[in-house]
Amino acid sequence: MIDYAQDLGLNLPFKSYDVDAMLTKRDVELTSGFGGNAEGRRAYLAYVSEGIQHSQDWDMVMKYQRKNGSLFNSPSTTAVAFSHIRDPDCLRYLCTILDKFENAAPTIYPLDIRSHLLIIDTLDSLGVARHFTNEMKMLLDQTYRCWLHGEEEIFLDTTTCAMAFRLLRIYGYDVSSDQLSPFSEECFFNSLEGYLNDKTAVLELHKASQIIFPEEPILEELNSWTMNFLKQEFCNGSIYVDQPGESISTKV
């Protein structure tokens, strides 16, 4: 946005050295190495296309386009991509958002499934789920149909996939742990979530791994690496708990 404003000759209420510092930091980020997570970094650079603009590799970015026409279900990323390459599927996605929200847009869309799962999880945590049996069953049935159809809204989002697996299995739906095989330690840390060190996603994967049947090696491996990761992050002080003396194991 600052680049756009400068191109338009607008007088920004920022000191020039502050603007230069931000742009320099961006340039350093773009030229830094990929390390051991090349795919995760590429996904990250595609996701932040709005801040890269003219130096972006749009062919690389469009590899992350989803069936609904969006990039990462992000209106802002999709909009900036459309402004550069005029992709009709991007436009279709953006028009859908405008039809639904008119002159506003959410940060992520769609987010219905995760929102539904969070409602169910919260009702469970509060101990009042029995008062909403019919409503919860309706939401779980919808989620299960999406699970069976392999909906991207579930399977391209680690947190949503882990929550869906855990809650569907708890409530008796037939879901296979094979669907969590893409979240092995190696695969996760070579993904966007791994690049961003997404602790929420790892925590949800760990909680999902605890809903295990006999002889499910995928969940056994998942449980092992997620627990080790969370313990390490807790020891490093990057994970905090609500109550003094509460251990990370009690949170999961």
Give buried/exposed letters for 44-69 (b at 16+ CB in 10 A, else e): ebbbbbbbbeeebeeeebeebbeeeb
CATH number of the domain to which 60 belongs: 1.50.10.160
Q: Based on the domain organization, do 30 and 148 belong to the same domain? A: no
Q: Based on the domain organization, do 118 and 96 belong to the same domain? A: no
Of 101, 128, 160, the residue that ends a domain is 101
**Domain that includes residue 53, residue range:** 2-101
Q: Based on the domain organization, do 236 and 204 belong to the same domain? A: yes
Residue 13 confidence (pLDDT): 79
Of 101, 129, 164, the residue that ends a domain is 101
Beta bridge partners of 71: 65
Q: Extract the residue ranges of the chain whose pLDDT is less than 70.
A: 1-7, 30-37, 240-252
Which residues have a Cβ under 8 Å from the Cβ of 198 and sit 6 or more positions away? 158, 159
Amino acid identity for residue 64 in this structure:
Y
Residue 247 confidence (pLDDT): 44
Domain total in the chain: 2
Q: Do residues 148 and 190 touch, judged by C-beta distance below 8 A? A: no
Q: Based on the domain organization, do 11 and 97 belong to the same domain? A: yes
Of 101, 130, 151, the residue that ends a domain is 101
Q: Do residues 20 and 28 touch, judged by C-beta distance below 8 A? A: no
Residue 19 confidence (pLDDT): 74
Please state, in angstroms and rounded to a whole number, the distance separating the CA atoms of residues 131 and 123. 9
CATH number of the domain to which 156 belongs: 1.50.10.130
* pTM: predicted TM-score of the whole model, two decimal places: 0.84
Q: Based on the domain organization, do 79 and 143 belong to the same domain? A: no
* Per-residue tokens: 232: 């390490």
Annotate the chain with three-state secondary structure. Answer: CHHHHHHCCCCCCCCHHHHHHHHHHHHHHHHCCCCCCHHHHHHHHHHCHHHCHHHCCHHHHHHHECCCCCECCCHHHHHHHHHHHCCHHHHHHHHHHHHHHCCCCCCCCCCHHHHHHHHHHHHHHHCCHHHHHHHHHHHHHHHHHHHHCCCHHHHCCHHHHHHHHHHHHHCCCCCCHHHHHHHCHHHHCCCHHHHCCCHHHHHHHHHHHCCCCCCCHHHHHHHHHHHHHHHHHHHCCCCCCCCCCCCHHHHC
* Per-residue tokens: 32: 């830094």
Q: Based on the domain organization, do 64 and 152 belong to the same domain? A: no
Q: Based on the domain organization, do 160 and 199 belong to the same domain? A: yes
